[in-house]
Amino acid sequence: MWAMLQTLNDEVPKYRDQIPSPGLMVFPKPPSALEYTYSMSKPLTYEKFTEDLKRFLEPYSLEEQKNLTNCPDGAPFKQNGPVYQACQFPVSLLQNCSGMSDTDFGYSKGQPCVLVKMNRIIELMPDGSPQIICDTKDAGIANILTYPDRGLIDLKYFPYYGKKRHVGYRQPLVAVQVIFESNATKKEVTVECKIGGTYNLKTQDDRDKFLGRVVFKVLVST
């Protein structure tokens, strides 16, 4: 067993063929199913969400990222080591959902923010200009806003070189804000996000509902 462990590479796992394409996941993670259910008038029901978000975004503060590289936009940030640098991801990109202007991330106003992120996979390199496209089928109930605009993820955050080599790597984030129509009687909406703008990442898999896509539900009561 020990001998087996010695043969392992510390930086890159031997096989990556089991994860050829990343999954999408939301943050904060509701306790069981992906349902954001809370009441605007009862802060306790959403406190956990906002707390989680705050904690999650801490590493993304300017203070925390000052040692990171300000990489050039629009191109993959390929490196050959032995020292790997991580690119800054200014939290301000998340605009309304950055927590800077609204520490409640819109929850208290009934316009909750949810972060969507693409799973990290070592040396994954998306084609084109990847973006997270979010939509809802429940038209007329809510508008879905994404930050940065159009949910674009800059190529400079790719490729990822692994926990060991790529210290300080900031996973690029896309925030989704659900803004209910003022006349909507029932504030319940299902949001589907998927990866777009790229060809080599799968978004359709019969069995894996999270491969390149994610579906979550937002249910806000007064």
Partner 1 sequence: MEPEREQSIAIPQRNESPRPSLKPVTLNKNLHKRRKKKKDLEELKEEVAMDDHKLTLDELSAKYSVDLTMGHSLKDAQKILVLTGPNSLTPIPTIPNWIKFCKQLFGGFSLLLWTGSFLCFLAYGINLHYNEKNEKDNLYVGVVLAVVVLVTGCFSYYQESKSSKIMESFKNMVPQQALVIRDGERMQINVKDVVLGDLVEVKGGDQIPADVRLISAQGCKVDNSCLTGESEPQARCPDCTHENPLETKNIIFFSTNCVEGTARGVVIATGDNTVMGRIASLTSGLTMGQTPIAVEIEHFIHLITAVAVFLGVSFFSLSLILGYGWLDAVIFLIGIIVANVPEGLLATVTVCLTLTAKRMARKNCLVKNLEAVETLGSTSTICSDKTGTLTQNRMTVAHLWFDKTVYEADTSEDHTTGKTFPKSSDTWFYLARIAGLCNRADFKPHQESVPIAKRGTTGDASESALLKFIEQSYNSVNEMRQKNPKVAEIPFNSTNKYQMSIHLLEDNPHAHMLMMKGAPERILDFCSSFLLNGQEYPMDEEMKTDFQNAYLELGGMGERVLGFCFLNLPSNFSKGFQFDTDEINFPMENLCFTGLISMIDPPRTAVPDAVSKCRSAGIKVIMVTGDHPITAKAIAKSVGIISEGNETAEDMAARLNIPVSEVNSRSLKAIVVHGSELKDMVSEELDDILKSYREIVFARTSPQQKLIIVEGCQRLGSIVAVTGDGVNDSPALKKADIGIAMGITGSDVSKQAADMILLDDNFASIVTGVEEGRLIFDNLKKSIAYTLTSNIPEITPFLLFIILSIPLPLGTITILCIDLGTDMVPAISLAYETPESDIMKRLPRNPKTDNLVNHRLIGMAYGQIGMVQALAGFFSYFVILAENGFKPLDLLGIRLYWDDQSLNDLEDSYGQQWTYEQRKVVEYTCHTSFFISIVIVQWADLIICKTRRNSLFKQGMKNKILLFGLFEETILAAILSYTPGMDVALRMYPLKINWWFCAIPYSVLIFIYDESRKLIIRRRPGGWLEKETYY
Among 56, 96, 122, 202, binds partner 1 (CB under 8 A): 122
- Residue 126 touching partner 1 (CB under 8 A): no
- Residue 83 touching partner 1 (CB under 8 A): no
Among 25, 68, 133, 179, binds partner 1 (CB under 8 A): 25
Q: How far apart are the first and last CA of the chain?
A: 57
C-alpha 14/C-alpha 184 separation (Å) is 52
- Residue 22 · residue 119 · CB < 8 Å: yes
Task: Specify which residues 61 forms β-bridges with.
Answer: none
Residue among 24 and 87 whose Cβ is closer to partner 1? 24
Q: Secondary structure of the chain: what % helix, strand, coil (to 5)?
A: 20, 25, 55
- Residue 117 touching partner 1 (CB under 8 A): yes
Task: Specify which residues 218 forms β-bridges with.
Answer: 36, 189
Among 45, 119, 190, 221, binds partner 1 (CB under 8 A): 119
- Residue 8 touching partner 1 (CB under 8 A): yes
Largest interatomic CA distance in the chain: 66
- Residue 108 · residue 180 · CB < 8 Å: no
Contacts of 67 (CB under 8 A, 6+ apart): 168
- Residue 5 touching partner 1 (CB under 8 A): yes
Number of residues that bind partner 1 (CB under 8 A): 39
Min dist. Cβ of residue 163 to partner 1 (A): 3
Site for partner 1, rule CB under 8 A: 1, 4-5, 8, 11-16, 18-19, 22-25, 29-30, 32-34, 117, 119-122, 160, 162-164, 166, 169, 205, 207-211, 214
